[in-house]
Amino acid sequence: MTANLPAAQSQDSAPRQALVMSTIAFTVCFAVWTIFSIIGVRIKQELGLNETEFGLLVGTPILTGSLVRMVLGVWTDR
């Protein structure tokens, strides 16, 4: 009965570890976007960007990430 205990603990710890790592990753990504929005105004002023150029600067990582996620999702399903 005690021989199965470590296996059960390892099965229970995997979802918990995934939850903790996902929470940390989400927090870091949210912090990066918050910092980018704060310094975005200064970047816009220093580079002399108009609204369109600044929109492209902000939107490019979002669009690129979306496209890469689609490709990786198809690749993962195979």
- Whether the predicted pLDDT of 8 surpasses 60: no
Residue 50: per-residue pLDDT: 95
Check residues 24 and 6 and name the one with the higher pLDDT: 24
One domain, residues 29 and 55: no
Q: How many CB atoms lie within 10 A of CB 65?
A: 10
Question: In angstroms, rounded to a whole number, what is the distance separating the alpha carbons of residues 59 and 46?
Answer: 19
* 54 within 8 A of 44, measured Cβ to Cβ: yes
- pTM of the entire structure? 0.53
One domain, residues 8 and 42: yes
Domain region containing 19: 1-47
In angstroms and rounded to an integer, the radius of gyration of the C-alpha atoms of the chain is 21
One domain, residues 13 and 41: yes
One domain, residues 64 and 35: no
Which helix (H) or strand (E) covers residue 9, if one does? Answer: helix 5-47
One domain, residues 6 and 42: yes
Total of domains in the chain:
2
Residue 52: per-residue pLDDT: 95
One domain, residues 16 and 38: yes
